[in-house]
Amino acid sequence: MNNFFVFFIIFSFALIFFCKKYNILVDQKIEKHKKYSTKSKSFLIGGVLFVTFLNYYFLKVQQDPLLLIFIISIFFIGFMSDLKQLNSVSLRFFLQCILVLIFVNFLKIEINYTKINIFDQWLTISLINIIFVTFCLLVLKNGSNFIDGINGITIGYFLVIFLTILINLSHFEYDKNLLTNLISILLILLLLNLYGIIYLGDSGSYSLSLFSGIFLIEFVNTNISISPYFIIVLLWYPCFELLFSIIRRLSQKNQTYKPDTNHLHQLIYKKIKTNFNIKNDPIIHLITMIIINLYNLMCFFISAKYIYFSEILIIIFTFNILVYIVLYNLLKRN
């Protein structure tokens, strides 16, 4: 794997050089919500680089081509969206639903228990389990795309999730070699993203979040002593961001699928820029990313101490929701 790590670094900079030389895969930043992006020229290759890592792992190490095909299929939908070749939100969502349903069924991705007796009985019915897993992955995937409005947030968020597991839960059963190398890859992507050189785009956020969701489902299924609410705490932010944004847009009678600039990370960005009069965009992105992901890192480390205690994890999850809502309203008012 060390040889691949060296190859990955060389390949990343070679691809960046190629994109610069021929001016291809440039993020045009024409959408309203991308006005917060850094002014430097960014290239839509974050997803390409991440999928390159998955190609190596799932073909050479784990030898699971079906899961790789699943993630690449979702990546392709996002990539077509990034290239403005698939602009219909409804068509994009429909294709996602069909693909996730099909692969969840074939790959036997299941959520075995929620510790809610009635719901757990329903989950024993195969069709209900497939629909529920599909729903969870779709929420995570699209929510992760929502928080990708500031450089570093999405990559940094999943990075702190995997760091939490590797540092605090090393005694549990999972592929530690995969996690170690994944963290190294994400660190490289994070640095390139923070500098505004690469952009995850739909393709990157879709593939990264989908892989992470499947990994976490398998992690809790393998280690059945862990409360499933620990995974809910780990994934609370992108999932709640999606739910909150939909409710907010409906209440304002706006179209739920249209991007806007009223997400929490954008409000934090504006507050930092206004109050501290910082003109260097990468610095503002860095500060915003640190505020959001440092909070989540502390939350995850605390949660890791109570992985067997569902009641405490529910309290932590509820606290996070309250913090989000209170902070959002304070920033929105000011």
Q: What is the pLDDT of residues 294-304, one digit of tens each?
A: 999 999 999 99
278 band by pLDDT with thresholds 50, 70 and 90: confident
- What angle do the packed helices 310-333 and 236-251 form, to 10 degrees? 50
Asked if residue 81 lies in contact with residue 87, where contact means CB atoms within 8 angstroms, the answer is yes
Residue partners of 240: CB distance under 8 A and separation at least 6:
143, 320, 321, 324
Greater model confidence, 61 or 289: 289
Range of the domain at 253: 2-333
Helical packing angle, 281-304 and 153-168, nearest 10°: 30
What mean pLDDT is predicted for residues 138-167?
A: 95
Over residues 111-125, the mean pLDDT reads: 90
Copy the structure tokens of residue 124.
């024993």
pLDDT in tens, 223-253: 999 999 999 999 999 999 999 999 999 888 7
Task: Indicate the number of domains in the chain.
Answer: 1
Cα–Cα distance measured from residue 139 to residue 133, given in angstroms and rounded to the nearest whole number: 10
Give pLDDT, residue 115. 85
Residue-level pLDDT at 149: 84
Within 150-227, residue ranges assigned H as helices are 153-168, 176-194, 201-222
**196 Rama sector, left if φ>0, alpha if ψ -120 to 50, beta otherwise:** left
Share of the chain above pLDDT 70, in %: 96
Q: How many CA atoms lie within 13 A of 318 on its CB side?
A: 6
Weakest-pLDDT range from 12-16, 78-82, 247-251: 247-251
Other C-beta atoms closer than 10 Å to the C-beta of 315 total 14
Tens-place pLDDT, residues 157-181: 999 999 999 999 999 999 999 999 9
The yes-or-no verdict on residue 194 having pLDDT over 60 is yes
Residue 281: predicted pLDDT: 82
